Amino acid sequence: MAKKVLVIDDDLDILELLIYNLSKENYEVKSAVNGLEGIKVAKSFMPDLILMDIMMPVMDGIEAGKIIKNTESLKHIYVIYLTARAEEYSEVAAFDAGADDYLTKPIKPRALVSRINAFFRKETQKNVVDGILEIAGLRINKENYSVTKEDGSIVILPKKEFEILYYLATVPNKVQSRDSLLQKIWGSDIFVVERTIDVHIRKVREKIGDKYIGTLKGVGYMFKTE
């Protein structure tokens, strides 16, 4: 259920570094060492985001980006270039090829991962209009604590149940620990045991269906979009 990231770079040390840091953040990661291989992997892996170098053998990142954005099954994938090329013409070429962002090396892995996290949060927030979040077939209305299901039926949730669901839905496919949910929903001034989260999650599942909220045993919960 994790977001998928494809890293394309001919520098094996950078590949290893990025795979390690992205995997720690629960992303599902695959890699390729040139643009041609990257396109082949993308077609089978279907990532949510491609992180790609420009200067690579066989096929460079610009050419690969053009092919990706002109391939019907791949054109929806976000492409971020990560390259040592800092010249303006390289950046222009990247955006002309359909880039969604352009970053220059050297990289700071933790900062890069934070930027990717922020990128996915921003894409989620685009689905929020006037307090209504539409995701995975649900219409979650923050104004009246209602959830419209795929069959058109409407469920009104108690405040805390709704807040848990809404928060998880704003960070889809990212596991949230019980402690972080307690802090986010109840705050640090109110004492609530972790078991309370489990009870509220169970009630939400009973009302909207089991398929939306997943459990990572011993860790916490996440909203699933797949």
- CATH of residue 206's domain is 1.10.10.10
Q: How confident is the model at residue 208 (pLDDT cuts 50, 70, 90)?
A: very high
Q: pLDDT tens for residues 91-138?
A: 888 888 888 888 888 878 888 888 888 777 766 555 556 678 888 889
Same domain, 99 and 40: yes
Domain boundary among 125, 148, 176: 125
d(CA 178, CA 11): 38
Helix axes 61-69 and 88-96, enclosed angle (nearest 10): 20
Same domain, 11 and 119: yes
What pLDDT, on the 0 to 100 scale, is given for residue 124?
Answer: 59
What pLDDT, on the 0 to 100 scale, is given for residue 119?
Answer: 77
Same domain, 10 and 73: yes
Domain that holds residue 215: 128-223
How far out from the chain centre does Cα 172 lie? 7
Q: Say how many C-beta atoms besides its own lie within 10 A of residue 36's C-beta.
A: 18
Same domain, 114 and 21: yes
Same domain, 74 and 160: no
pLDDT of 1 strictly over 80? no
Q: pLDDT tens for residues 171-196?
A: 887 788 888 888 888 876 666 777 88
Same domain, 72 and 102: yes
What pLDDT, on the 0 to 100 scale, is given for residue 112?
Answer: 85
Same domain, 154 and 209: yes
pTM (2 decimals)?
0.57
Same domain, 61 and 113: yes
Domain boundary among 125, 155, 178: 125
Q: Say how many C-beta atoms besides its own lie within 10 A of residue 187's C-beta.
A: 9
Same domain, 174 and 79: no
Q: pLDDT tens for residues 193-207?
A: 778 899 999 999 999
Domain boundary among 125, 142, 176: 125
Q: How confident is the model at residue 40 (pLDDT cuts 50, 70, 90)?
A: very high
- The count of structural domains within the chain is 2
Residue 194's identity, in one-letter code, is: E
d(CA 33, CA 12): 8
